[in-house]
Structure 1
Amino acid sequence: MIQLFGVALFVAIVALTMYITYWASRRVRGTSEFYAAGRSLTGWQNGLAIAGDYLSAASFLGIAGLVALNGYDGFMYAVGWLMGYVVVLYLVAEPLRNSGKYTLADVLSYRLQPVPTRLAAALVTLTISTFYMVAQMVGAGGIIQLLVGIPYEWAVVIIGVLMIVYVVFGGMIATSWVQIVKAVLLMAGTILIVLLVGARFGFNPSNLFAAVAQAHGVEFLQPGKLYQNPIDLVSLGIALILGTAGLPHILIRFYTVPTAQEARKSVVWAMAIIGVFYLLITFVGFGAMVLVGPDRIRAADKGGNMAAPLLAEVLGGGPGTIGGELFMSAIAAISFATIVAVVAGLVLAASGAFAHDIYTNVIKRGAVDERKQFVVARVTALVVGAVAIAIGILAKGQNVAYLVALAFAVAASANLPAILFSLYWKRFNTAGAVSGMIVGAATAVTLVMIGPSVMGKDALFPLANPGIVSVPAGFLTAFLVTLLTPAEADKATKFDELAVRAHTGLGAEQ
């Protein structure tokens, strides 16, 4: 019965998103619409889209499972993701919107040598997008298989085909509205679960926490259950808080609004939505701990990813009831929409990195007309989507959860130093930007590969999260190489132009 309900809700969501793509495809006439939705979104619309892009399956299913199995420490993971937007709001959003056009590399190449800068930025973008995408695809295949009964391979193919259709035909317009719809569905589903959990405990959080302490011990309400090494926790926090400001699929969203003021409004809306969501998901996790129980959650999925759907089943009436199966199916459908929306954003970022940065501005040195770049962008999105499907199928059964944290670490170690120094340091040069991005990314990837997430007990690096080493390495490399290499005198005036443009909006595309 649950599979019947699940299939029906899946079909409804697919039909809705296909209609959005059809509507958007009639408005995509060139690269501006494809990459940046024609700068047509308002602040609140883009804020919802950012939330839809940011709140992945790791947030909805993963955080609920972490809280359900580990208590307080699971909530600490969510805090890092939310606080990242403080950095975005105060340091990145407005100057990025005013300084760039379609991709992160547009900002860096404005005042630095374009070819090496664009190439390095594009390669980092593709690296981050790949790590993030593989984690989403593998998680999606496993979760959809558990919830609906679709074989893993077909689940990956269905999600991959849908994201290709969204991006190739609807571009950023379709992707944005799919993310907006997903954000609304996700918030509605989460709020409903929390209200039903609240009703079980008299709408008093103290009663819920007392039940947790009574059933499972007070240690679940205290730190130390999951993160026993405080240095590793600090390292994770550094990557999550600073990494958000360097994620390509989030940063390109600021090009979809007409002004810097709307970009700021986007971040405020996104912070409000994401903050409320992470507060609510904590109660979902603790509710699952009490009403479902850690043993049953682990039996369904060792990582705890089934905590929220199993809680929905209990709240709807329990296993075997129509209400329980229908509510669980609804949460499964929302999980599906969550994954597809996030992956579509990643495909769009990867497509822009290759088509706009590498092909148009590195290989062709800008000598590509609008129509040709538009065609290349669509073909690139198709290829990226096909590669994501293949990798997702090949990685079946692999534990790739660490790849999301690795994507944040690479973003914080490689992209953020280049962005901040480019915007705020006049002496900064191309050698510093390129070397900082390469060293930051390489350090983060290498430390994870030789760390406990990959090598287990034989790890050569003791921390699962490399941020505490890789982020300073990226900043320090960019800083020292800049000081040790000649200043680019011909680029000095460009910094002054960038500063005026970044902080006033003068010269930015309207």
Structure 2
Amino acid sequence: MAEINPFYLGTFIVYLAIVLAIGIWGYTKTSDVMDFWAFGQEMGPWLATWSFVANFVSAVSVIGFIGAVYGEGYTLMTHTIFGLMLGISALYFVVDRIRNLNLLTLPEIIASVTGYQVARPIAGTVLLGNAWLYLIMQLVGASLLVTTITGVPYRYMVWVIGIVFIAYTVLGGLVSVAWTDLLQGTLMVGAVLFSLAYMAFDLGGFTTINQQLASVDPSYVLPTGGGAYTVIGIVATIVAFFGTIFTEQNYIVRIAATKDVRAAKIHLAAAGFILTVFFSALVVLGGATTVALETNEMAIQTQDAAFPTLITDYVPSGIGVVIILAVMSAILSTTDTRLHSTGITTARDIYSYFRPDSSDEAQLKVSRVATIVFGITATAAAVNPPGTIIELYNFRAVLLTSAFLIPVYMGLYWGGLSGRAILASVVTGALLGVGTEFAGGLFGVPSTFVGVGSALLVLLIGHLLLSGNEPKGRSMAGD
């Protein structure tokens, strides 16, 4: 067992105590199920902006992306990050349509578009699979980092982190999540910019960093990784991550939680700007990490360990604490959001479908129980994770985009589409997208294209065959 580092361990314990205290305070401000789910739909633009930013940046964004730069260079900007930022930009132009629907979840939107309430548990099941995968990779990232810097064994640390974030999310719902996001988002952005400034000063400036990165591997500074990525592969990745912005339950919930359309649009515009700056800085920080580790011959076992190794073996302890706060803020702020969304999805989209007369109190109880169950099972899975952080991230991107991007947004903007065709498109896209991702593609075609293409094909053929046999008067009232 590695030697315990009391300085880093103490910092970590204080941090967990602060966010847990905010969770307890949030519990006192949560009086009903809408407070728990959507902040009573009273969230202003400033709080919504930082909640979106903190929720968006995760273990993938810090540990996973820096690890990806360590393994492949700046090409990450060409596909994954470009797709994400393009998605936020596009979401801005449809946010008023989404907010004016005054629906809380993505499955409710699908039910409204199709006229079939059974869309709620179908879509909800897909979203729960996505959220569970996200929880696992968040816990892996957090535990790997804290284990590396504190010396506490991974198998213990993953449970400590899991129990704390379950506790404060269950207590206050979105009230706790939003206010911890405000703290964590500002810490995260400030700390990453500070860390980049330190590394640039330490390594001789940005030009020197790029020159040394090119000396490690010339392909690292090329937009396509020196041919490591084909054009079709890059486009498929852009589409996959573009689609996740439109199909994440937690983004829809945050739009619904804002007090009006104006607040919804302001928070997306401001968050998009902040995140563009943040990710640009993060990728360069990944380059600096690569240069520091390679020039000092610091060996690592996996690319996910690159950033934690920089903290423990390269930067001074004072700088390390700042970086730790940034990474922990990124991880926990996204983890609590995904966990919170599992409670909403289970109670609002699945339980209330089968128990339409259930009380608000019953749905609040189901939300909290589901939060605990998904949190504990994800923590148990994270003890022996099924893949690297970036592998899990890619998998759930294919799942969401294949299932929802085409049927949901064509349904919103192309009136009269067959509801049954939309549902068939969701199921087909999810199954074929996930299936080909497991298989590594189909005849050289990326799994994203297989999933999205099959969803589009089923939607169009199904509409032609079924459009004359749809029930009249679609509504949220039921099947």
What is the TM-score with the length of structure 2 in the denominator?
0.91
1:153-197 per-residue CA deviation (whole Å, 9 max, x = no partner) reads 222212221221122111011111222222111111111112113
Counterpart-to-counterpart distance in 2, 1:461 and 1:333? 44
Give the SS at the match of 1:485: helix
User: What corresponds to 1:123 in structure 2?
Assistant: 125
| Greater Cα shift, 436-445 or 480-489 | 480-489
User: What corresponds to 2:268 in structure 1?
Assistant: 267
Counterpart-to-counterpart distance in 2, 1:25 and 1:109? 31
User: What corresponds to 2:174 in structure 1?
Assistant: 172
**Does the CA-based 8 Å contact 1:68-1:294 persist in structure 2?**
no
Shift of 1:139: 3.1
Shift of 1:330: 3.5
The answer to whether structure 1 residue 409 and structure 2 residue 398 are counterparts is yes
User: What corresponds to 2:199 in structure 1?
Assistant: 197
Q: Is the alpha carbon distance of 1:150 and 1:202 closer, same or farther for their aligned partners in structure 2, counting shifts above 3 Å?
A: closer
Counterpart-to-counterpart distance in 1, 2:312 and 2:273? 28
Shift of 1:309: 4.1
**Does the CA-based 8 Å contact 1:84-1:242 persist in structure 2?**
yes
**Does the CA-based 8 Å contact 1:24-1:173 persist in structure 2?**
yes
Q: Is the alpha carbon distance of 1:397 and 1:490 closer, same or farther for their aligned partners in structure 2, counting shifts above 3 Å?
A: closer
Q: Which of 356, 361, 370 is the matching residue for 1:371?
A: 361
Give the SS at the match of 2:229: coil
User: What corresponds to 1:16 in structure 2?
Assistant: 18
Q: Is the alpha carbon distance of 1:206 and 1:251 closer, same or farther for their aligned partners in structure 2, counting shifts above 3 Å?
A: same
Q: Is the alpha carbon distance of 1:65 and 1:396 closer, same or farther for their aligned partners in structure 2, counting shifts above 3 Å?
A: closer
Q: Which of 155, 159, 164 is the matching residue for 1:162?
A: 164
Counterpart-to-counterpart distance in 2, 1:180 and 1:461? 46
| Greater Cα shift, 429-438 or 68-77 | 68-77
The answer to whether structure 1 residue 383 and structure 2 residue 349 are counterparts is no
**Does the CA-based 8 Å contact 2:184-2:329 persist in structure 1?**
yes
Q: Is the alpha carbon distance of 1:446 and 1:148 closer, same or farther for their aligned partners in structure 2, counting shifts above 3 Å?
A: same
1:411-439 per-residue CA deviation (whole Å, 9 max, x = no partner) reads 11112223212311211232122111111
What are the residue-to-residue correspondences of 1:35-434 with 2, within 5 Å?
Answer: 35-76=37-78, 77-91=80-94, 93-200=95-202, 203=205, 205-213=206-214, 215-222=215-222, 223-225=224-226, 227-293=228-294, 296=297, 299-303=299-303, 305-312=304-311, 316=315, 324-360=316-352, 362-364=353-355, 366-393=356-383, 395-396=384-385, 398-399=387-388, 401-434=390-423
The answer to whether structure 1 residue 476 and structure 2 residue 465 are counterparts is no
Shift of 1:294: 7.2
Shift of 1:87: 2.3
Q: Is the alpha carbon distance of 1:228 and 1:420 closer, same or farther for their aligned partners in structure 2, counting shifts above 3 Å?
A: closer
1:376-403 per-residue CA deviation (whole Å, 9 max, x = no partner) reads 211121112122122222x347446322
Mark the runs of 5 or more structure 1 residues left unpaired by the alignment: 317-323, 453-459, 496-510
Counterpart-to-counterpart distance in 2, 1:402 and 1:177? 30
Shift of 1:25: 0.6
Give the SS at the match of 2:158: helix
1:222-245 per-residue CA deviation (whole Å, 9 max, x = no partner) reads 233483333222211210112221
Q: Is the alpha carbon distance of 1:295 and 1:233 closer, same or farther for their aligned partners in structure 2, counting shifts above 3 Å?
A: farther
User: What corresponds to 2:466 in structure 1?
Assistant: 485
**Does the CA-based 8 Å contact 1:63-1:78 persist in structure 2?**
no
Q: Is the alpha carbon distance of 1:384 and 1:196 closer, same or farther for their aligned partners in structure 2, counting shifts above 3 Å?
A: same
Q: Is the alpha carbon distance of 1:54 and 1:301 closer, same or farther for their aligned partners in structure 2, counting shifts above 3 Å?
A: farther
**Does the CA-based 8 Å contact 1:134-1:392 persist in structure 2?**
yes
Counterpart-to-counterpart distance in 2, 1:198 and 1:402? 29
**Does the CA-based 8 Å contact 1:417-1:475 persist in structure 2?**
yes
Opposite residue 221 of structure 1, the aligned amino acid is V
Counterpart-to-counterpart distance in 1, 2:234 and 2:425? 24
Opposite residue 120 of structure 2, the aligned amino acid is R
Counterpart-to-counterpart distance in 2, 1:118 and 1:467? 23
Opposite residue 241 of structure 1, the aligned amino acid is F
Opposite residue 82 of structure 2, the aligned amino acid is V
Shift of 1:10: 0.9
Opposite residue 216 of structure 2, the aligned amino acid is H
How many residues are treated as equivalent by the alignment?
A: 472
Mark the runs of 5 or more structure 2 residues left unpaired by the alignment: none
Shift of 1:2: 7.4
Opposite residue 367 of structure 1, the aligned amino acid is D
1:28-58 per-residue CA deviation (whole Å, 9 max, x = no partner) reads 1111111101112211221211111111111
| Greater Cα shift, 25-34 or 134-143 | 134-143
Shift of 1:312: 4.8
What is the TM-score with the length of structure 1 in the denominator?
0.86
Counterpart-to-counterpart distance in 2, 1:335 and 1:137? 12
**Does the CA-based 8 Å contact 1:71-1:225 persist in structure 2?**
no
User: What corresponds to 1:506 in structure 2?
Assistant: none
Counterpart-to-counterpart distance in 2, 1:2 and 1:244? 40
Q: Is the alpha carbon distance of 1:315 and 1:79 closer, same or farther for their aligned partners in structure 2, counting shifts above 3 Å?
A: farther
User: What corresponds to 2:433 in structure 1?
Assistant: 444
Identity %: 21
Q: Is the alpha carbon distance of 1:139 and 1:146 closer, same or farther for their aligned partners in structure 2, counting shifts above 3 Å?
A: same
1:222-281 per-residue CA deviation (whole Å, 9 max, x = no partner) reads 233483333222211210112221122222211210111111111111111110111101
Opposite residue 380 of structure 2, the aligned amino acid is A
**Does the CA-based 8 Å contact 1:126-1:353 persist in structure 2?**
yes
**Does the CA-based 8 Å contact 1:413-1:475 persist in structure 2?**
no
| Greater Cα shift, 218-227 or 341-350 | 218-227
Give the SS at the match of 1:28: coil
Opposite residue 85 of structure 1, the aligned amino acid is I
